[in-house]
Structure formats: structure tokens, C-alpha cells
Chains A and B, each alone.
Chain A
Amino acid sequence: MSATAASRWTVAAGVPWAGYALLLAVAPVLWDSSQSLTLLSQMGIAIIACLAYNLLLGQGGMLSFGHAVYSGLGGFFAIHTLRLVSEGTLNLPVSLVPLVGGAFGLLFAAVLGWVTTRKAGTPFAMITLGVGELVWAVSLMFPGFFGGEAGVSANRVVGEPVLGLTFGPALEVYGLIAVYTFVCTAALYAFTRTPLGRLLNAVRDNPERVAFLGFDPRVVRYLAFLASGFFMGVAGGLAALNFEIVTTEVLGAARSGALLLFTVLGGTMVFYGPIVGGVLLVLTTVMLSGVTQAWLLLLGLVFTGVVLVAPGGLAGSAAAVVGLARAGRLGGLAAGLLALGALAVACAAGLVVLVELVYHRQLHDALGPEMIFLGLHLSVDRVDSWWGAAWVALTSGALFEVARRHLAPQWRAAHRDGGRR
């Protein structure tokens, strides 16, 4: 983050962005089935939401347990806007509907965030929890607006096509989402480069000191909250367009929890961590849940493991390794880190097999004791299946811990020397 080098836009700085744009553009060509197109669209939306969430969590140190409120409310206002357009009461291009979502995300952030951002730390987290529950309760009290159990649905193929785009085909919707994803990512990145963005980091690390530099930390938090609310609303609006239905569950605590969990999993301390988190959110909740019934349990295990061993998240850890490699300091650590990774995978595999055996035993009595998982022929009646899995998990887990303790001092030393250069 050398500021002198970053003071001008350089070609090197543009490369990741060109790559990002290219990836968004070619993704539907590489994965062209209708199912993967749906996944890609959801990933774009999740990326915006996780980035907007991390503006609070990673950039500002604000832990929100109710941030789905802003994407959810944005989504409801977007879907009602879409209905108004289809009734002919409102003349608005469909491609701008997500901005309506953003405007309402901003509006609600302005009202609710005023209360929330008075405090930092645990009080902030508690207030967001309260606000989340409050909005959820209100949504159940007004079925006219929130659609009750059935939700609110609308048709996105309405109004005059702009540039021949009707947004009927899923590919056109993906294109719109991809454009929004790119622009929102760029805008959120630009925010981190502004005076307010840097003040937000300072408020995260030491709010009181910021007050002694002439700034009101509450104002800094509030402005960041507004920005976050806007982008959450955009994500909600895009989701409304994508699914053509919005139900009250988008406001719920489970959604807010998923935002937190996957943003942390991706990594809060590097800008692109939430992009990784957003992709994982969709892969896990949509795909993994189709592969195994134990997905929530596995997610919990992975999440706990990452928080314990790699608090920087996946992207944060990767960035740390790349940083060391670039500084030519990785050398002796490389082999150890690879071994660590292999042991983690082995331990996870052992645990996964154990979990699957437990689930098979509980849920599939009718199917008999045999099961095939990851190419392994297992049986819940055979002791060797259980012992094998447990042995792999325990041995690799123990070796992992031994190796980790061995590597930790070297890892810290390599980073410390980096600072002392």
C-alpha cells in the first residue's frame, strides 16, 4: 500500500481490474448451463453485499448482526417499483430498478444507522441485532407491503426495451448484474482510497484518538454506514430483479448471519476478501446444500477452523503468503505451509467422512448400511469405516497442530522482519 506509488493510476494497478472485468465477462461462456448462470448471477449479488458489509466490518470495525435489513428493504422497494412499472404507473427502465433499491437502502441506513452508529464495539453489535429483529417483526405486521408468507412477486420483462435488452433471458440479467458488480466493486474500492476511507480505518483502530484529531468518530461511522446501506440496497434490488420475488426471509437474522460468516471466511482485512466470501456464499448455500445434508455442520466446522487458524480469512492468508513470497521471505516456510495445507485437507476429509457416516446412520436407515462417498465404499456397520475416518482426522489434525506450532514463530518472524526493513 505504498501511497507514493499509488498516487498515480499505473498500468500495474489496472491489471487486476482488467482481469476482474474479463472474468465477469467470460464466466457465462465458461459455465454456460442455465444452472451455472443462476449461480453466477447470485454470486455477483453476494459479492456486492459482502463488500458493502465489509465496509463496516473490515474497514470500520463495526460488527453488524442485522445488515440484511438494508438489502432486504432495498429489495422490497425494488420489487414494488417493478410492479409499478408493469402497471404503467411508473416509467423507469428496468436496468435502473436496482438503484431504487440502493436509494431505499440509503434512506433506511440514514434513519436506523443514526441510532446504530452512536456507539461502537459491542453496543453497536447489540443495537444492530435489535434493529434487525425490529424490522423483521414489522415486516410480519404489514403483509400488504411485505407479502406475508408468499412474498411479493413481479415480472421483470416490462416497459420498453433499452438497447434491445428485455431482461427476459437469464443471460441478459447476468450481464446487468455483472456490470453492477464491477461498478460497485470499483466504487467501494475507490471509497477506501479517500480521506473518509482512511479515517474510517483510524476509527476502527482507535476511535477516541480520532476525536483528538478534530473528527467526530460517530460522524465517520455514520457516513460509512450510509455508503454501506446504499450498496446493500443495490444488492437487494438486483436480487429482486433476478428472482422476480422477494420474501420476508431476505430481512431475517439468517441472512445477516450468512453475510457475516462468509465475509469473515473470505477475509475482512484485504479488500477482495469479501469477493471470495460472496462466491463461497453461493457455492455453499446453493451447491453444497445440494450435495450433502450435513452442509451446515460442515460449514460450521470450516468456519471455526478458519477463525482459529487463519483469522485473516482465506484471502487474507493467501495475501500474506504472496506478500512474503514477493519480499523473498517465503523460502524456508514454503514447504511447511504446503504440508500444513495438505494436513488441513486430510483432517477435513476425515471429519467429513465421519459426519457423513453419522448422517447416513441417522437419516438413511431405509437405504441400508452401505454408502459410497468420495469414491469410498463405507458402511455404518463396519468398525473400520468409523476407525479409518477417525484415524485420518485425528492423526492429520494432531500433525497439523504440531506443524502449526513449529511454523508459527517463523511465520511471525518473517512478518516482523518485513516491518523492520
Chain B
Amino acid sequence: MSAVLSLAGVHKQFGKTPIVRGVSLQVDEGERVALIGPNGAGKSTLFNLISGRHAPTAGEIRLRGRRIDGWPPELIHRLGLSRSFQVSQLFGRLSVEDHLRCACLWSLGHRYTFWRRLSALRDVRDRVDEVLDRLHLTGRRDVPAQHLTYAEQRALEIGLTLAGGADVLLLDEPTAGMSQSETARFVALLREVTAGKTLLTVEHDMSVVFGLADRVAVLVQGELIAFDTPQAVRADPRVQAAYLGILPEGAVRA
């Protein structure tokens, strides 16, 4: 199997504080990896380094063999890596449909077009219809994002990430803030819409982790202490010591 995404000795510090310390890992084609760790472990920072929000202080990040560390987000996205955010990053006044249109314009080759009508682009319309359908948002097409329910906003956040057709997805706590029943539904949806893609997801909810992931990466204080199958990680004494020792027993719903 070939590594789609590989990190080698990735290090990031803000000022004098190291946040990510020498993380190396490889994610294979079509694999689903869950990144777990206590608050402040550097999970979101690692996502920010991979997706181009920040440049790593040291180390290499490769996407399909190409070095992307330090690249701006738009260039990384164009290579087929798309990410979602822990707090939904939407365009408040734009409708659901307009969100998805913006998200698929680049990959369909329309770029900064100003000589054609947006509504006349058939390929954009088809892609938007498809994503709306998969996310069960078809009936909410014309609603401005700011008027959506919380769960719908989370779904749209995933829709923005998917619509460009990227095959490497980074989902930052996709179920954050959802109730247990919403989470269950949403995980089923996520499994469906990310089928066949390479997935790296940050997750706090252990039921989601063990339901979704092929492998689990455990980050503690910026260091990767384990990277293995869910069963192996659960049995790993280092993970139990470091991770379970920090979180109270009840917070881990396995």
C-alpha cells in the first residue's frame, strides 16, 4: 500500500512553546484514521499544519509524495486535500446552495470566472444537487447558513469539505457539540459520504472512534505515543497510562 499522507518529524512551536513534537505517521490510501488525545494535545494544530493554516517549524509533510509543508491552504486544497473545522466556518449570509457552489468551483475548473452566469453552469448544479442529496439538505437549499439548525450547520460544514471532490479528508471533530442521538445518525452519514476516501479525523467521542476508524493515532502533549488498530491502542499500556490517566474514567465512552 502506498502512503497518501506522510509526516516525518513534524514539529511546531509558537514562541518558545512546543505544541507538536516530532510527529511521524503515514496514512495509506483509503484508510480511516482517528486522531485522539486529551485537550491541548496538539490535534488541531497538527491539522492546521497539514492543511496549510500554519507552517511547521521543522519536519516534512508529503501528500502523495509531494512536499506540502509551508504551502498556503488553497494550493494544498487543489492537490485534493480538504478539511473541515471544529467550529463551523460558514459564510453567514450565503444560502446552502451557494456554499456548495463555491466549494466545487475550483475542482470543476471554473476558477475565478466572471464571464459566465453561476446558475448556468450545469456541472456545478449537478454536483451541488448530489451533495445536497447525500447530506439530506435538499429541502434547505435556499436557506442562509445563519438560519440553519446546529446539526444542519455541521452537515453543511462537511458538505463544504466534500463538494470539491477531494479524496483526502481531514475532519476536525465532525460531531462536536452534538447530542448522542444526533452523533449516531451523523456518524452513519459520515461513513456513507466518505466511502472510498482517505480520512483523518479528530474525535473525542470514543464510540465514534471505534465505529469509524481503521487505525487510531494517539497524541499526548504533542507527541505521537501510539498508532495502531483500535483494539491494539485500547490495550496499549502507555495509552492507558497517559490518556486514561488524564481523562476521568467516565469521560471515555468505549
Contacts and interface: CB of A to CB of B under 8 A. Distances in A.
Q: Which of B82, B107, B112 has the most CB of A within 10 A?
A: B112
A219 B112 contact: yes
B211 interface: no
B89 A206 contact: yes
Contacts of A3: 95, 97-98, 118-119, 141-142
A220 B85 CA distance: 22
Interface in B156-194: 160, 164
B117 interface: yes
Given A206-B91, A212-B83, A193 B112 contact: no
B12 interface: no
Given A6-B119, A201-B93, A209-B91, A196 B112 contact: yes
Interface in B108-156: 110-121, 124-125, 141-144, 146-148
B90 A209 contact: yes
A421 B142 CA distance: 10
Interface stretch (B2-10, B69-77, B216-224): B69-77
Nearest to A193: B117
B43 interface: no
Contact of A214 (B98, B107, B146): B107
Contacts of B89: 206, 208-209, 212
A210 B113 CA distance: 15
A194 interface: yes
Interface string A209-228: 11111111001100100010
Given A1-B142, A209-B160, A191 B114 contact: yes
Contacts of B117: 190, 193-194
A220 B112 contact: yes
Contact of B119 (A193, A213, A220): A193
Q: Which of B51, B52, B142 has the most CB of A within 10 A?
A: B142
A205 B51 contact: no
Contacts of B93: 201, 205, 269
Interface residues of A, number: 39
Contacts of A201: 91, 93-94, 98
Given A193-B119, A195-B118, A201-B98, A212 B51 contact: yes
Nearest to A217: B74
Contact of A419 (B51, B82, B124, B147): B147
Interface string A175-209: 00000000000000011011111110110111011
Contacts of A1: 95, 142
A42 B115 CA distance: 30
Given A193-B117, A206-B90, A214-B107, A223 B112 contact: yes
Interface of B: 51-53, 72-74, 77-78, 82-83, 85, 89-95, 97-99, 101-103, 105-107, 110-121, 124-125, 141-144, 146-148, 160, 164
